[in-house]
Structure 1
Amino acid sequence: MTFSLVARCAETGMFGVAISSSSPAVAARCAFARAGVGAVASQNVTDPSLGPLALDLMEQGMTAAAAVAKVREIGRFIDYRQVLAVDSIGGTAIHSGPNSLGIWTQAEGKDAASGGNLLANDRVCQAIVDGFQAAEGHLGDRLIAAMRAGLAAGGEAGPVHSAGMKIVDKVSWPVADLRCDWTEDCPIENIAAAWEIYKPQLEAYVQRALDPRAAPSYGVPGDE
């Protein structure tokens, strides 16, 4: 009931997760990223604790492959889980348990890994990775392009209702954390619309946190 992408921007060092599902609020449970460390998606009969665990292991020096192997070793009911990771040098790894739901598959490429379950077909995840590799521009633009490619390839077996995109950079908080927790329309397009509004302001929001004296105004009432 989910398809996702974890990715690294080789040029900027940013990490991102993009995810969509027929379930509500999928990004709240499944998307994890840490600046300078990596990005993880934990999905399919989700155990949200596996995301921070994998990031902790990578922060301690493990590669994505070693971290996912350790998660597979110590995680509970791991046969029901899918865990995707990308590390600080662009290495990727995926665990898909044999009890993953419906048609499930996975795909890896340079700086990117995709996994999904209850899919319309077994080509969706490769389409997501290919979409990411073919896209240009900001990491957020590439994540959106990848998710659109996955949806165009068939997406889930049924309609998707929630989506999210999380991006981390050089600070300890996500520089973008956009979510559509439920809609009868396309949640990926909702996220894309929010990204078009947020993207031009992203750097200013970071600047406001670091030093508001140098931050630009956006002309809202009371903002001078």
Structure 2
Amino acid sequence: MTFSIIARCHKTGQFGGAICSSSPAVAARCLQAKAGVGVATSQNITDPKLANILLDMTKYDLSPEESIAELVKNTEFIEYRQLTLINSDEKPAAFSGKHSLGVFSQCIGEHAVGAGNLLAKQEVSQVMVDAFHAASGSLAERLMTALKAGLAAGGEAGPVHSAGLLVVDKVEWPVINLRVDWSDTPIEDLHQLWKVYEPQVEDYVVRAINPASSPSYGVPGDE
């Protein structure tokens, strides 16, 4: 029903993730990140609050492995959940409960974690992590490369219909938060949306921090 990748950029300090599913609006439920803290997913039969709980525990100096272990130990219905978590400098972590749906897998890399359920094949998670580490460019671009590689490797057993891309940086809000909530080609649509937004990312940060120097986009009424 879902496959995802989360990652950190050790050069910029950014955290981010990319995710897709056969269900609508997957990114709104399953993917969370906090600037300066980390990025997490809660997927499979989703409990959306779990990703934020993991980030809160990470904020108070628990490692990803410790955070997930503590959550697993103290959470009802945890065997129905699939979790991933990354912070700034420690080994990433993941958990797949025994009731994860269909073919499921997880792969922990140096700077990324891939996970999925109802997959066409177990190798999808490994393929995403390998593609991320082999890719170049911005964190967002590498995440999209990884998600597309997961799809090319088989992706879900059935068609996917929604996808999302989330990146946090130095400001309190996500600098990138793009979603395709229902489409027959959500990953392709999301990548096209990202390429439209890519050259404007920094300008919107400037608009928030110093509107007096913000650029114009030439829209009606914007002089």
TM range (shorter): over 0.9
The 3-state SS of whatever aligns with 1:58 is helix
Identify the residue that residue 43 of structure 1 maps to in structure 2.
43
Question: What TM-score do the two structures reach when normalised by structure 1?
Answer: 0.98
The 3-state SS of whatever aligns with 1:65 is helix
**Equivalent residue runs for 1:66-145 within 5 Å:** 66-145=66-145
Identity over aligned residues, as a percent? 53
The 3-state SS of whatever aligns with 2:42 is strand
8 Å contact from structure 1 (residues 83, 94) kept in 2: yes
Identify the residue that residue 209 of structure 2 maps to in structure 1.
210
For 1:79 and 1:194, the matched residues in 2 are separated by: 35
For 1:70 and 1:203, the matched residues in 2 are separated by: 37
Which runs of no fewer than 5 residues in structure 1 stay unpaired? Answer: none
For 1:62 and 1:88, the matched residues in 2 are separated by: 12
The 3-state SS of whatever aligns with 2:202 is helix
Deviations 1:52-105 (A, max 9, x none): 100000011111111111111122200000000011115200010000000000
Which runs of no fewer than 5 residues in structure 2 stay unpaired? Answer: none
Deviations 1:14-53 (A, max 9, x none): 0001000001110010000000000001000000010110
Per-residue deviation, 1:220: 1.0
Identify the residue that residue 11 of structure 1 maps to in structure 2.
11
Q: Please give the root-mean-square deviation of Cα atoms over the aligned residues, in Å.
A: 0.7
8 Å contact from structure 1 (residues 90, 112) kept in 2: no
Larger CA deviation: 213-222 vs 160-169: 213-222
Deviations 1:112-151 (A, max 9, x none): 0011000000110000001101110000100000001100
Identify the residue that residue 62 of structure 1 maps to in structure 2.
62
8 Å contact from structure 2 (residues 63, 90) kept in 1: no
For 1:207 and 1:52, the matched residues in 2 are separated by: 27
Per-residue deviation, 1:182: 0.5
For 1:71 and 1:189, the matched residues in 2 are separated by: 34
The 3-state SS of whatever aligns with 2:94 is strand
Identify the residue that residue 160 of structure 2 maps to in structure 1.
160
**Equivalent residue runs for 1:14-25 within 5 Å:** 14-25=14-25
For 1:78 and 1:16, the matched residues in 2 are separated by: 24
The 3-state SS of whatever aligns with 1:106 is strand
Per-residue deviation, 1:108: 1.0
The 3-state SS of whatever aligns with 2:154 is coil
The aligned amino acid for 1:220 is: V
The 3-state SS of whatever aligns with 2:183 is coil
For 2:90 and 2:142, the matched residues in 1 are separated by: 15
- The runs of at least 4 consecutive aligned structure 1 residues that moved more than 3 Å come to none
The 3-state SS of whatever aligns with 1:55 is helix
Identify the residue that residue 196 of structure 1 maps to in structure 2.
195
Provide closer, same or farther for how the CA distance between residues 84 and 71 of structure 1 changes in structure 2, counting only shifts above 3 A: same
